Amino acid sequence: MSLDPDLATALVEPSELPPEEPGRLAVFWRRFRRNRAAVFGLVLFVLVVAAALLADVITPGDPLRRVAQPLTDPFTNPVAPLGTDQLGRDILAGLMHGARVSLMIGVVATLISVGIGIVIGAVAGYWGGWVDDVLMRFTDAFQTVPSFILLLALVAIMGASLESIIFGIGIVSWTSPARMVRAEFMSLRHREFVEAARSLGQRPVATIFREILPNALPPVIVFASVIMATSILLESALAFLALGDPNHASWGNMIGQGRSVLRSDWYVAVLPGIAILLTVLSFSLMGEGLNEALNPRQKK
């Protein structure tokens, strides 16, 4: 999942094209399709999204309520096709509603972290000089605190609601996008089209948002898939330690609960574990496919 710095320059090209030119999109799709693993990732991702969307249709009602005898084995009771945990909760319902919570956390936390990253990276990269120095020392400092430990501290202070967890994950993961946006701005700020806008008297804020940002964004969007995967992992680790929001279904929490019955009923912990594994795998595979499709110069 490492991202090539060359990616940036490769990505600038397609984004500058007007959207009504479908040819490039077809080319992109053809390149993406060539990587079978990436297509598999896309299929996995679509399945997870479908599970999240259909959660209320297939498994209606509160996923945290008791539906059957505790520790029913999978495939034995049609009420709970994948069995129940030690509190008699439907595992399938937990998986589907958990997909919804995981994706929601992934998307919102990523938006927060990319948002902060864009503001800090853009300001540092556009102005440079002492502004850049100050902001980058600040970013360095943030990066030296292990993100999971900082997240623990934030949750300890703000409480373990879903909102504060999402906010916390956003706060601990903005440094990489900030560095990326900064690097893009550094390389773009002296380009002709930027100089032209500046000499026409455009204000800095307008130049940043209208001229540079659209060109700096594509690599950040690809990197967002990495942040989304990390966000899902961070939340599941918190929930596994029973530090998550107890009012929502969560894969990590299901694994944590299943740990105490691992000896007799391993499926309680293993099924949600596979769900996390496949979701994160789908992001990795798609990210790699995107990288290859958008950066054809890189040898396979």
Nearest to 125 by CA among 133, 137, 116, 114: 133
CB of 141 to another protein, least distance (A): 4
Residues paired with residue 90 on neighbouring β-strands, in sequence order: 84
Structure tokens at 16: 């500058």
Cα-atom radius of gyration of the chain, to the nearest Å? 22
- Which DSSP category does 72 fall into? P
CB of 181 to another protein, least distance (A): 18
CB of 98 to another protein, least distance (A): 13
Complex with another protein: residue 193 or 266, whichever CB lies closer: 266
CB of 155 to another protein, least distance (A): 7
Helices (H), 159-191: 162-172, 175-188
Complex with another protein: residue 185 or 251, whichever CB lies closer: 251
Complex with another protein: residue 143 or 187, whichever CB lies closer: 143
Complex with another protein: residue 68 or 281, whichever CB lies closer: 281
Q: How far is CA 250 from the centre of its chain?
A: 16
Helix (H, G, I), strand (E, B) or coil at 66: strand
Distance CA 136, CA 183 (A): 12
Q: Which residue has the tokens 């919102």?
A: 108
- Provide the binding-site residues for another protein, judged by CB under 8 A: 1-2, 37, 137-138, 140-158, 229, 233, 236-237, 240-241, 243, 252, 255, 259, 262-263, 266, 269-270, 273, 276-278, 280-281, 283-285, 299
CB of 281 to another protein, least distance (A): 4
Complex with another protein: residue 50 or 145, whichever CB lies closer: 145
Write the Ramachandran bin of 245: left for phi over 0, alpha for psi from -120 to 50, otherwise beta. beta
CB of 149 to another protein, least distance (A): 5
Structure tokens at 106: 């992934």
Complex with another protein: residue 213 or 271, whichever CB lies closer: 271
Distance CA 80, CA 190 (A): 61
